[in-house]
Amino acid sequence: MILRLALLVALLALASLFWDPAMLQAVAARDPALARTILIELRLPRTALAVLIGGSLGLGGAAMQGLLRNALASPDVLGPTTGASLGAVFAGYFLGGGVLAVAAGGIAGALAALALLLALAGPAASTATLVLAGVAISALGGAAVNLALSLAPSPYALYDVLFWLLGSLADRTLPQLLVAAPIIIGAGGVLLAQRHALDSLALGEEVAHSLGIAVSRLRWTVVVASGVMVGAGVAVAGSIGFVGLIVPHLVRPLVGNRPGAALLPSALAGAALLLAADLAVRVPVNGVELKLGVLTALIGAPFFLWLVLKAR
């Protein structure tokens, strides 16, 4: 299954990189240097960020669902995503930071939102408490992004709300990729290394403890690594909803409902889903390209409703 998912990601990545091949060929025939610039400066960051951010959302969702043993846990439901938007907006608009500072702001925002969540919900929170606290933090974060951009010196800054709350991979830069990639890959590696521990945790905290798992260290590792990963992604692409929520549910039945075993397939499926969504937004609707987050929400919200119906 992992091989097939990886193949799907590779195919979609190629489609993303060489989208509209007739146009690329025409440009290459006329001006090879320009075609190279388009591929390296525009297409490569877009494709690579879709893979990395989609993967990080899928992986982050699967890890949080495994850790909290909660089917509704995901970065965008529980708050780190809007927390990251807020941190990035603050670092960029009010402290005048560059790519690095915005990434640091995003990571700090995501970690702050997660810390607030865990403090509010407590260590052994019920589903209801956790989701309530997460939804409240998400709403607060979204409102604070809105407020911050309303108060920014330029009246046009408010237009950027669209980006920070809906996300986009269009016209990102190579430096943004170079900042985000090592952070996402590093934190993702740390999360993947917890897969056996998460499988043990699924049997209950006592069992995990008796198997030699340091449960509280596991919790901190997963929370910090997810926060860092999500924060770095949001800082360059805005907040993209629902991928982290849907993907683990699609994957888990295929791996015998073991949360640890779902991590890597979730990362791959998340990358494939975001690549596909980013290909779809390039087809103009009524002459206008849609925002990435609009599309993922259009797919994700009905799925969320289906989860509700199933849980009833």
Partner 1 sequence: MIGLATLALLAGAAAAAPSPARVASLNLCSDELALLLAASGQLVSVSRLGADPEETPLAGRARGLPVNRGRVTDVVALAPDLVLTSSGDPSAAATARRLGIAVVEVPQPTNLGDVRANIRLVAAALGRPARGEAVVAAMDAALGPVPAGAVPALLVSGGGLTIAADSLAAIWLRHAGLRQQRVARGPLGLEGLLTAPPAVLVTSRYRAGQMSINQGWLAHPALKALPAGVVRLETDGRAWTCLGPSLAPEIARLRNALQRRGRPAP
- Which CB atom, from 286 or from 310, has the smaller least distance to partner 1? 286
Alpha-carbon gap, residue 309 to 312, rounded angstroms: 5
In terms of C-beta distances under 8 Å and separation of at least 24 residues, what long-range contacts does 291-295 make, across chains too?
291/162, 291/163, 291/166, 291/167, 291/168, 292/166, 292/167, 292/168, 292/169, 292/237, 292/238, 292/240, 293/165, 293/166, 293/167, 293/168, 293/238, 293/239, 293/240, 293/241, 294/166
CA angle 4, 307, 276 (to 5 degrees): 35
Q: Considering the rule CB under 8 A, would residue 294 count as an interface residue with partner 1? A: no
Tell me: does residue 129 bind partner 1 (CB under 8 A).
no
When binding is defined by CB under 8 A, the residue of 22, 119, 288, 309 that contacts partner 1 is 288
For residue 78, give the H/E element and its range: helix 75-78
Q: Which stretch binds partner 1 (CB under 8 A): 116-124, 155-163, 190-198, 251-259?
A: 155-163
Among 163, 165, 262, 274, binds partner 1 (CB under 8 A): 163
> 26: closest CA among 39, 35, 15, 17?
35
Q: Nearer Cβ to partner 1, position 33 or 124?
A: 33
CB of 150 to partner 1, least distance (A): 12
Of the ranges 7-15, 30-38, 113-121, 226-234, which one interacts with partner 1 (CB under 8 A)?
Answer: 30-38
Site string for partner 1, 237-276 (x = CB under 8 A): ----------------------------------------
| Using rule CB under 8 A, residue 289 touches partner 1 | yes
CB of residue 243 to partner 1, shortest distance in Å: 21
By C-beta, is 135 or 280 nearer to partner 1? Answer: 280
**216-229 residues labelled b (16+ CB within 10 A) or e (exposed):** eebbebbbbbbbbb
Coil, strand or helix: which one is 138? helix
Binding residues for partner 1, per CB under 8 A? Answer: 23, 27, 31, 33-34, 37-38, 41-42, 92-93, 96-98, 102, 152-157, 159-160, 163-164, 170-171, 173-175, 284, 286-289
